[in-house]
Amino acid sequence: MLVLFLGVLSQWIAWRLQLPAIVLMSIAGLLVGPLLGIISPSESFGDLFSPLISLAVAIILFEGSLNLNFKEIKSFSKPVLRIVTFGAFIAWIAGSLAAHYLAGLSLAVSFVIGGLFIVTGPTVILPLLRQAKLKARPAAILKWEGIVVDPFGALLALFAFQFVLFAMGEESAAAFGLFFLAALFAVLLGIGAGWGMGRMFEKGQIPEFLKSPMVFAFVLLVFTVSDMVMHETGLLAVTAMGIMMANMNITSINEMRHFKENISVLLISSIFVMLTASLSLDVLIEIFNVRIIAFVLAMLFVVRPLSIWLSTIGTDLTVQEKTLIGWIAPRGIVALTVSGYFATTLLDAGFEDAELLTALTFALVFSTVVAHGFSISWLGKKLGLASSVEPGILIVGSSRFAVRLGKMLQSMNKNVLIIDSAWGNLQLARQAGVPSFAGEILSEHTEYEIDLTPYETMIVATDTDSYNSLVVNNFVPELGRTHLFQTAIHQSDPKDFHSSLSGRTLFGAEWNIHALEAKAEEGYAMRKTQLTEQYTYADFREKSVDGTIPLFVERAQGKIEFFTTGMAVEPKIGDTIVSFSPPAHQEIRIQEKLETSRMKSGIQPKE
């Protein structure tokens, strides 16, 4: 109970304070584990501890690989391929040499652990990318590297261990053949299972309510069968299964992806707490060994940048992208769990220096998680690779009103994009200079053609109520219902649309898109009113001309809050109210200015 509670609580606090969640989860585990001695998960779970961790890692890795659609990296597949092959090899060799010469490990142990330390993995990369909101290309490269290299790191460590035993004369050359056959079996098993599940989904042989549970069970089955053939090949099998299903264009892949993502968040939260809480004080003290500190610094500032810069020579990556990718490489759960397996195996094989592996691994994991967790957002902004300094607003459906709203937001230095499926509908947006995109927001191609990451808020304002609700429901997992708005229902009875099917209704139940368009044609205009001590919100409401529609409030800090039904917005002094005002309002203001001018000039108004 405490593991689950602390894990989810850490995620929530991190979201509230905009801090790296993995750092808070690690700290929470250290506090209740070795520091305060409240829990020790490894003792509580006993023999189930390692299998539970392994199965959880398999689910997390599969969920991550479900996002690896080759269309995403079509334009920059070369740097991705270089990094996960040549870059991984350089990181293995350089990391092994650092472990030998700096940490003082034997060459045999160094090359085993050096292979493992090439991993980053979805357990640490995906939460950081969610926090940092990088531009599409560097984010995709880091995501692909983390997920693809994760199983290969474990396999590389296993390969190095097999080679060490062969060099010592304890293994025959046939062991190498068995190793490669086991790896090939894992890949084929994963691809076959993914293809089979995908075909069954498309033929309707599995009902909707069983799809996610069925995949969940098959992931565990594929992982376990592969791992029984040869230890550590299960991760490769589930990765192959996920990539296969991600590229089959399965119609229900999004529903599965969201289910797996929810499960993964819970598992990541729990596992980090479990692993750190299971450490001993002796391991924590050993971390401050000078040799270990020197090794960690070398991995951070030499090995990682060297592997990225050398492997991406001849690619079209910019200096800024190489700098960011060359810095970000947090190690996570796979490094912690697999190092424990190899520490035991190497000790049994007679390598006494392997007892240092647990402290060495945790020092690297915690250092990289803290260093990269706190620096990724800052560095992304400094290098110009952050998608946006301030979250933007996406407007779906182009109309006269939508263009005027977008233009007003743009004049207030907000990042705005109008999307419409019809090129002709965007003519007004193009004339007004408001950024626009012609495409279907629900299309998979749109996801790869434009970067939607910078847009935290979505306004759906097409003239079809059911389509508006469909778009809202599609983006709930990504944006959250509090950031999704739509214009009022106009074609149907609002009672036909349950609140769970719709976004927050903008401006009021009577202001559907047709009503707003009619007002725009009548000459209604956007107007900004800043509230002061002399002109409060009460004054605004009292003096506003009949028919004025309050649209949104820009807080003094720059945050936008829309007027919606059921949610009260209380503008304060220093805020700016944007309203949609009748043309008569403008005439009254002109008359007031003329009267003021006459009074100052001493000219009496005519009767």
pLDDT at 231: 81
Instruction: Check pLDDT > 90 for residue 298.
Output: yes
Which one, of 216, 192, 210, lies nearest residue 266 by Cα? 216
pLDDT of residue 596 exceeding 90: no
**How confident is the model over 227-282, as pLDDT tens digits?**
898 887 888 898 889 888 888 877 666 666 666 667 777 887 888 888 888 888 88
Distance of alpha carbon 103 from alpha carbon 497, whole angstroms: 64
- Count of domains in the chain? 2
pLDDT tens string 170-189: 666 677 678 788 889 999 99
Which ranges constitute the DSSP H helices of 247-332? 253-277, 281-286, 290-298, 304-311, 319-327
Q: Is residue 387 part of a domain?
A: no
Does residue 604 fall inside a structural domain? no
Lowest mean pLDDT among 44-58, 308-322, 582-596: 582-596
Amino acid symbol at 217: A
Q: Alpha carbon of 179 to those of 22, 156, 240: distances in Å?
A: 34, 11, 17
| pLDDT value at residue 604 | 47
CA-CA-CA-CA dihedral for 441, 480, 401, 493, to nearest 10: 90
- Average pLDDT of the segment spanning 127-147: 81
Assess whether 307 and 434 both reside in one domain. Answer: no
Round to whole Å and give the CA distance between 123 and 261.
Answer: 11
pTM score, whole prediction: 0.69
Last residue of a domain, one of 331, 357, 382: 382
- Tell which wins on pLDDT, 212 or 237: 237
Q: Check which CATH number belongs to the domain holding 413 and give it.
A: 3.40.50.720
Q: How far is CA 76 from CA 136, 141, 245, 316, 428, in A?
A: 11, 9, 22, 8, 34
Q: What per-residue confidence (pLDDT) applies to 593?
A: 55
Give the Cα separation of 89 and 179 in Å (integer): 18
Last residue of a domain, one of 329, 355, 382: 382
The answer to whether 432 and 398 have CB atoms below 8 angstroms apart is no
418 strand-pairing partners: 395, 436
Helical residues (DSSP H) of 387-499, grouped into ranges: 400-411, 427-432, 444-449, 465-479
How large is the average pLDDT for residues 297-309?
A: 93
Is pLDDT above 50 for 5?
A: yes
The pLDDT, as a whole number, for residue 388 is 55
- Rounded to 5 degrees, φ, ψ at 399 are -155, 175
pLDDT of residue 170: 66
- Which of 223-237, 465-479, 548-562, 588-602 has the lowest average pLDDT? 588-602
Strands (E), 168-280: none
What's the pLDDT tens digit per position in 441-490? 887 666 666 767 778 888 888 888 888 888 888 887 777 778 888 888 77
For residue 475, the enclosing domain spans 392-599
Which CATH number characterizes residue 127's domain?
1.20.1530.20
What integer is the mean pLDDT of 388-414?
A: 83
* Same domain for 189 and 103: yes
**pLDDT-wise least confident of 83-87, 116-120, 459-463, 588-592:** 588-592
- Confidence tier at 597 by pLDDT (50, 70, 90): low
Would the pLDDT of 90 be above 90? Answer: yes
Q: At 606, is the pLDDT very low, low, confident or very high (cuts 50, 70, 90)?
A: very low
| 430 and 372, same domain (yes or no) | no
Residues 189 and 244 in one domain: yes
State the average pLDDT for the chain: 82
Q: Which of 318, 351, 382 is the last residue of a domain?
A: 382
